[in-house]
Amino acid sequence: MKRARTSSSGGSVTGGTMDIKPQLMTITGTTQTTDQYNVVKFSLPQVRTTRSLPGKSIILEILKIYWSLPDVNNGGDVGVSIFATLATNSLNRNTADTSTNATYKADVSDSNALASIFWSQAFTTSGVQHVHSPQVSDLTDENGNGVLVATDNLFFIAGNVSMGTAGFATCKVLYRFVAVNLEEYIGIVQSQN
């Protein structure tokens, strides 16, 4: 049985591309040793189509982010924090820069930060605390619309405080392509660079 198309322009949920099937990309990196950042630049997928949409540009819409960071218990019985931010630029961070809880707060405050996560372990003298992964950041609104990204790269910025060893970090980004008017595209590009 064929599905009837209700309009040729797509729908408000799909951004006009008729793409309702999200895709997944994975960004991996490591957390550096104690009190250091690791910055991973990740090239975004590009639309490879001959289809033309007059007056529109096709960009990414990020729906969810699945975070997996090292277990904070690796630091022992000291106050350990580990954090990560996904952003449209490097937030002026470089690998091996000093990371602190205060620098994380500055990262979150930056308008180019799309989402972030912060895990912490307080001083404990008994028992073991483990963080369950993955943690999910849902970037959609009540209508299922996500955050639009019109840059060529994303930056995965991971840092820690008092983490004794380096650890493996990853985020999986659930996204889809959407078509936006050129005026909106230009505004998004200007705001994300």
Q: Dihedral, CA atoms, 118, 122, 125, 126, nearest 10 degrees?
A: -40
Q: How confident is the model at residue 49 (pLDDT cuts 50, 70, 90)?
A: low
pLDDT in tens, 91-139: 999 988 989 889 999 999 999 999 998 887 765 565 555 566 678 999 9
pLDDT of residue 10: 45
pLDDT of residue 2: 47
pTM: 0.79
Nearest one of 47, 57, 59, 24 to 136, comparing CA atoms: 24
Q: Which residues pair with 66 in a beta bridge?
A: 136, 172
Domain boundaries, the chain: 23-192
Rounded Cα distance, 19 and 32, in Å: 38
pLDDT of residue 6: 44
Q: Give 171's DSSP letter.
A: E
Domain 23-192 has CATH 2.60.175.10: yes
Name the phi and psi angles at 135, rounded to 5: -100, 145
Nearest one of 35, 164, 154, 147 to 86, comparing CA atoms: 154
> What are the residues whose beta carbons fall under 8 Å from the beta carbon of 56, sequence distance 6 or more?
16, 179, 180, 181, 182, 185
